[in-house]
Amino acid sequence: MDAFGDLFRGMRAQGSLFAGTTLSPPWSLHFVDGAPLTLCTVLGGAGWIVPEGHPPERLRAGETVIVRGPAPFTFVDEVGTSAEPVACGEHCTTPEQGGTRHRRGWNDDSCGDPGAGATTLIVGAYPVRGEISRRLLDALPVVLRVAPGGGSDAVLDHLAAEVAVDTPGQQVVLDRLLDWLLVCSVREYFDRPGGEPPAWYAAQRDPVVGGALHLLHAEPAAPWTVSALADRAGVSRSTLAKRFADLVGEPPLTYLTRWRMALAADLLVEREATTVAEVARTVGYSDAFAFSAAFKRTRGVSPSEFRRSDPLPGVGGDRRAVAPSAGRSLRSGR
């Protein structure tokens, strides 16, 4: 796994619900479930994403945005729309429906002709599990926009084809398509012309530092020294040390320690039966006391205290968040 791919290791869709949502203006959908990440993709038409406390963002056909939570946001036909906001979480109820509806199909005969100006929307909410995935949140803006014409277009084509039929294994396919769309969207955002990706992301393209980062992520428990890492990268110790610090913003072993502590933090809360000594060995420390000291120096609390600590604010709840993600189907018509 590389430095970018590792950030998604704890983010998986499970039991997602997808559908084509046909919205005829005026409409206003208020997303209130506080998901750390929410994907919104418009397959046709247009609308406005209005994050709480941030300027509105226009969303056109073929565009995808990722909204970073947990603050709520609204999707509307026009800023200042006259539509009454419909609260949406795992379920969305409108007065016209008189109840809650989840749909799998794109074209329900009961909807009639959506008419001119209709918008087709797909929404998928993502939980964020653990400290590793939380590093991804730290690298993202409140609203991340991806224009059509990139790698995510292929995902949308597959998604549209899959939800149009009812076949065995469909749920697994839909879940993995959401994972694919998330990774492609973030990668395209980081790679966009004039973009400002995190230093470690840009450094992955360097032939020397990129190789070193790959080694640290592939073998975090190895007894790394700067010399050993330089030997594997095929350069001198001084060359690696300077180049790594220049491109990543910190020395190689400082980066390794922070990465090991992120891995350890997730192991501590995901595997409660695992002892601190076992976690220490997993992330490259033969001495549990040395590991505990490094963990406290980095995290401010001991491993045992961290395991017992309160939920982290602003990350979608408990560090051990296991609630499945859910793509949501929402329909409103006038």
Structure tokens at 326: 């859910």
Alpha-carbon gap, residue 156 to 62, rounded angstroms: 9
Residue 134 in domain:
no
Alpha-carbon gap, residue 285 to 44, rounded angstroms: 53
Calculate mean pLDDT across residues 135-157. 85
Planar angle of CA 7, 9, 12, nearest 5 degrees: 115
Alpha-carbon gap, residue 214 to 248, rounded angstroms: 13
Query: What's residue 225's pLDDT?
Result: 97
**Is there a single domain that holds both residue 162 and residue 106?**
yes
Query: What's residue 15's pLDDT?
Result: 57
Query: What's residue 96's pLDDT?
Result: 39
Structure tokens at 224: 């790394």
**Is there a single domain that holds both residue 174 and residue 234?**
no
Calculate mean pLDDT across residues 186-200. 89
**Is there a single domain that holds both residue 206 and residue 186?**
no
Q: How would DSSP label each residue in 225-255?
A: -HHHHHHHHTS-HHHHHHHHHHHHSS-HHHH
Alpha-carbon gap, residue 154 to 152, rounded angstroms: 5
Contact 89, 31 (CB under 8 A): yes
**Is there a single domain that holds both residue 61 and residue 192?**
yes
* Domain boundaries, position 287: 200-308
Mean pLDDT, the chain, integer: 79
CATH, residue 104: 2.60.120.10
Report residue 173: phi and psi, to 5°.
-60, -45
Each residue of 159-178: pLDDT tens digit?
A: 778 767 788 988 788 778 88
Cross-strand partners of 57? 49
Query: What's residue 104's pLDDT?
Result: 33
Each residue of 52-90: pLDDT tens digit?
A: 888 998 988 888 889 988 888 999 999 999 998 888 765
CATH, residue 211: 1.10.10.60
**Which secondary structure element, helix H or strand E, spans residue 258, and what is its range?**
helix 252-270
Check pLDDT > 80 for residue 134. Answer: yes
- Going by pLDDT thresholds of 50, 70 and 90, the confidence category of residue 316 is very low
Look at the pTM and tell me if it is higher than 0.85. Answer: no
CA-atom Rg of the chain in angstroms: 22
Each residue of 267-298: pLDDT tens digit?
A: 998 877 689 999 999 999 999 999 999 999 99
